[in-house]
């Protein structure tokens, strides 16, 4: 990542800090108080040394008075530093909260194309792990950067008031430290960025392996998974070592330069003290300032290294935040109320990858209340048609209309609420079974919930659970079987009863006996509702009003079950292949 990108990321971070300007100003004021009092203490110490004139010539009253002042200043400095840390924490974790919020908000409006084309683990790593790393670097930046910069300028001012010649020695040697720190900072940014990306890749693999542990074990994929993890882990080790090695050279390098500064002050100050230019107390004050002046350079160099890491992580977050959202609804988009379910696909072309054709010149007209079955081999475009109907993806050309209205001119929320959707892949959220069933109908009564569960044949197994409808389940159903989870998803749709239905392998995980009962319930539910049924088991779609036979993104045959069998074409081959004796 280039230095320009690092600068651009820093500018973006500063945009997020604007709403915390009050805390930033307060933190700067408290930092100034802390630095001023910290730098004033060496002057008092020098004065105390000068009151020790010779053996038996010590002004104890003046020394005790100075000690009292130093104690008061130490307490005030400690209080100011404590308050400054509170302000810095407010700024840092407020900024990180805002960025995380923005990232999650963007995640909710990103097109499915982005989610489908990016590893879920990497997205999680950006929002969680990278945000934490960014917070650590930002907190160090606010805590040490403010005081460090103010200490450097404050020390210079105090040193100039004591002796300009010695101050000149300090100023001449100091830029060497800045050059060293700057060179190392530029070198480490790209390394920390690579570290962040590799860590995201590792998180993605772990996430995938944990989520599919049964499949991994069933197919004996453990060794291959370990090999893949070791390869990523080794790359992470190498880039982490490089990043940490180069960043760790900052402190020793700047300390060496700081030692040169201290030596220069000591020699120059001693020569001037011998000639009577300054007192011994002033020399001790100057040596103390030399330490305090060079110390911030060590801290700032460390801060710069951490900031490089933080900015590398922030860059990944900002990339997510700046991704193009899905095409927003038109300003004059209409609300699809009480849809009748007249659907038309006209001259539709679509492909996920521009150069790889999928659906071409697709035409279909479905009347209200009709049942449409979509069949065909895997990858022929069945689920893609569903994605287009729900407007998860927009067509490349052509149009899809509901009740004569182009769905691109309809509010997405109203379009999707007009569909009831049961997929082969079930999804249940963490919460009670009742909350999961009410997802599409928040105001449903207990009676309505139970009726929907009974219609879907889920009621009996729900009542066998410990707390019935109030049973708490973890993400994606927890200990429920795949069939039970699918029954809950069916019940959820039966509770809403929208005007249009999409059943994509809706009974794939249910036993044959229960499936027969569910098909009967579906038949009742589909009466008067436009329904799209995707099924591999062709025996389940015999009663469809129209069967679309798809191949390579095109409709190759269409008609009723008996008509298609009489054609003795592609559908007949598919159907007969499921019933031929082995």
DSSP structure string for 219-249: TT-HHHHHHHHHHHHHHHHHHHHHHHHHHHT
Contact between 352 and 383 under an 8 Å Cβ cutoff? The reply is: no
CA distance 576 to 200: 48
CA distance 363 to 431: 42
Taking CA atoms, 101 is separated from 108, 283, 475, 508, 526, in Å, by: 11, 54, 21, 37, 40
Contact between 292 and 155 under an 8 Å Cβ cutoff? The reply is: yes
Domain limits, the chain: 3-321, 429-497
pLDDT at 582: 42
10 Å CB burial of residue 580 (0-12, 13-18, 19+) is exposed
Q: Which residues of 461-482 are buried (b: 16+ CB within 10 A; e: fewer)?
A: ebeebeeebebebeeebeebee
For the structural domain made of 429-497, what CATH number should be given?
3.40.50.300
CA distance 314 to 10: 9
Reading the block at residue 344, the tokens are: 């038309």
CA distance 265 to 286: 7
Q: CB neighbours of 183 closer than 8 A, spacing ≥ 6?
A: none
Strand order in the sheet with 343-350: 359-366, 343-350, 397-402, 405-406
Strand order in the sheet with 530-534: 419-422, 500-504, 530-534, 371-375, 546-551, 554-559
Does the domain made of 3-321 have the CATH classification 2.60.40.10? Answer: no
Quickly count: other Cβ atoms within 10 Å of residue 215's Cβ: 10
CA distance 371 to 525: 11
Q: What CA dihedral angle connects 109, 110, 115 and 116, to 10 degrees? A: 110
- Sign for the pseudo-dihedral over CA of 449, 455, 460, 461: negative
For β-strands 500-504 and 530-534, DSSP reports them as parallel
For β-strands 52-54 and 57-58, DSSP reports them as antiparallel
CA distance 282 to 470: 77
Question: SS3 breakdown of the chain: % helix, strand, coil, rounded to 5?
Answer: 65, 10, 20
CA distance 471 to 432: 5
Instruction: Kindly report, residue by residue over 68-126, the tens digit of the pLDDT.
Output: 988 998 999 999 989 988 988 888 888 888 888 888 888 888 888 888 877 777 788 88
pTM of the predicted protein model: 0.66
Residues of the chain with pLDDT under 70: 1-5, 53-56, 174-175, 177-178, 181-182, 184-187, 189, 251, 294, 297-302, 305, 506, 508-510, 514, 517, 537-540, 578-582
């Amino acid at each position: 990542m280039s230095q320009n990108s690092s600068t651009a990321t820093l500018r973006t971070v500063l945009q997020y800090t604007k709403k915390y300007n009050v805390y930033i100003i307060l933190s700067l004021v408290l930092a100034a108080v802390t630095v001023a009092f910290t730098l004033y203490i060496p002057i008092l110490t020098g004065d105390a040394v000068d009151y020790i004139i010779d053996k038996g010539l010590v002004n104890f009253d003046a020394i005790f008075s100075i000690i009292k002042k130093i104690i008061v200043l130490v307490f005030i400095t400690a209080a100011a530093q404590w308050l400054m840390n509170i302000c810095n924490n407010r700024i840092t974790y407020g900024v990180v909260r805002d960025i995380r919020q923005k990232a999650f908000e963007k995640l909710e409006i990103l097109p499915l194309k982005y989610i489908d084309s990016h590893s879920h683990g990497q997205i999680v790593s950006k929002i969680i792990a990278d945000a934490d790393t960014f917070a650590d670097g930002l907190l160090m930046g606010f805590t040490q950067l403010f005081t460090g910069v103010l200490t450097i300028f404050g020390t210079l001012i105090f040193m100039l008031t004591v002796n300009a010649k010695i101050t000149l020695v300090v100023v001449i040697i100091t830029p060497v430290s800045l050059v060293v720190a700057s060179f190392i900072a530029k070198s480490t940014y790209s390394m920390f960025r690579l570290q962040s990306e590799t860590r995201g890749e590792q998180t993605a693999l772990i996430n995938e392996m944990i989520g599919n542990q049964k499949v991994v074990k069933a197919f004996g994929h453990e060794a291959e998974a370990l090999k893949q993890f070791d390869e990523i882990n080794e790359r992470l080790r190498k880039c982490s070592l490089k990043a940490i090695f180069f960043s760790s050279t900052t402190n020793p390098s700047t300390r060496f330069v700081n030692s040169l500064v201290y030596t220069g002050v000591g020699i120059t100050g001693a020569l001037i003290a011998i000639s009577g230019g300054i007192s011994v107390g002033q020399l001790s004050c100057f040596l103390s300032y030399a330490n305090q002046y060079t110390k911030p350079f060590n801290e700032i160099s460390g801060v710069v290294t951490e900031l490089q890491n933080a900015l590398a992580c922030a860059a990944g977050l900002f990339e997510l935040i700046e991704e193009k959202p899905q095409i927003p609804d038109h300003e004059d988009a209409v609300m699809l109320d009480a849809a009748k379910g007249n659907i038309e696909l006209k001259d539709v072309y679509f492909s996920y990858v521009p150069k790889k054709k999928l659906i071409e010149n697709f035409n279909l007209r479905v009347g209200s209340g009709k049942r449409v079955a979509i069949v065909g081999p895997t990858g022929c475009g069945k689920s893609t048609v569903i994605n287009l109907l729900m407007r998860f993806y927009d067509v490349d050309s052509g149009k899809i209309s509901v009740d004569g209205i182009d769905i691109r001119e309809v509010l997405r929320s109203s379009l999707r609420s007009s569909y009831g959707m049961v997929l082969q892949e079930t999804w249940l959220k963490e919460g009670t079974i009742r909350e999961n069933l009410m997802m599409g109908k928040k105001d449903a009564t207990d009676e309505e919930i139970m009726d929907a569960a009974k219609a879907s044949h889920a009621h009996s197994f729900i009542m066998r659970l410990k707390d019935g409808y109030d049973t708490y389940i973890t993400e994606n159903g927890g200990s429920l079987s795949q069939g039970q989870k699918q029954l809950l998803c069916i019940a959820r749709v039966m509770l809403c009863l929208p005007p249009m239905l999409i059943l994509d392998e809706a009974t794939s995980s249910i036993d044959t006996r229960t499936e027969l009962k569910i098909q009967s319930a579906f038949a009742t539910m589909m009466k008067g509702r436009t329904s799209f049924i995707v099924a591999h088991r062709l025996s389940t779609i015999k009663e469809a009003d129209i069967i679309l036979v798809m191949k390579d993104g095109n409709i190759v045959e269409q008609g009723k079950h008996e008509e298609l069998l009489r054609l003795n074409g592609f559908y007949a081959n598919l159907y007969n292949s499921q019933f031929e004796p082995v």
